[in-house]
Amino acid sequence: MGALGTMLLVLLLAIELGQPIRARQSRSHWNDGVYRRAGILALLLEALWISSPGQFAFIGFPVLIVNTVFIAWSLRRLLICLGQEKRVGMDVLGGAVAGYLLLGISGGLVFSVLETIAPGSFVDHAGRGQELLLSGLASDPAGFRIWDLDFSRIHYFAFVSLTTVGYGDIIPATSVSQFLSVSLSICGPLYLAIVMGLLISRYTIQGEEEQQVRQRGSAAPGPPPHSGADSDDR
């Protein structure tokens, strides 16, 4: 289910963020088409990776590269959309939350690919001792398939790393997995700082503009008083 959800996410991003995103852009530019094609390529590679047996785990390398580029590009396009909004509404807040969730899901995908390329990169201490996250790897390393990977546990670890909680039930056991875990832990607070700063700034400007409109409305002169003399003249 985790792999299927990731594939649906990539498809949704390619469709929604593949549209013109800049103000006064009436038609798609060449980079919009390249972005959509990158999403389709990421989707096809991920489907091939999931359906591959363990001995073809090297397919994870192009999956890792293409998905990393596509996710980073998606976040950039999403931030461009948020930056162009003049008013902070529910759609803007929803986009900010979607970007944060996108970081966590992409981190889980990267960790999953790393675990298939280098089994043992993550160790689960919760109730299963030193057992690896790959459920079928310990018993039959040559026969497992990618879908034997416990996607739910790895995505759980990704979000725990993103929020810098770090319960310690799952730990990165290699230098590469440790580097990626630390990188994701840095991206979480950095994203919140940038997006929250943007939203607070826009909300402050929005409140000041609304207050100025109310002040101008209350200070506007009313119609001149009706004069009886004018009626007599008519």
Contact indicator for 126, 170 with CB cutoff of 8 Å: yes
pLDDT of amino acid 25: 63
- pLDDT tens readout for residues 182-225: 999 999 999 888 888 878 777 787 777 777 777 777 765 556 65
Contact indicator for 80, 52 with CB cutoff of 8 Å: no
Could you tell me the two tokens for 192? 């919140």
> Is this structure's pTM higher than 0.85?
no
- pLDDT tens readout for residues 53-82: 666 666 777 877 887 788 888 888 887 887
Of residues 183, 150, 195, 186, the one with CA closest to residue 169? 150
pLDDT over threshold 50, residue 137: no
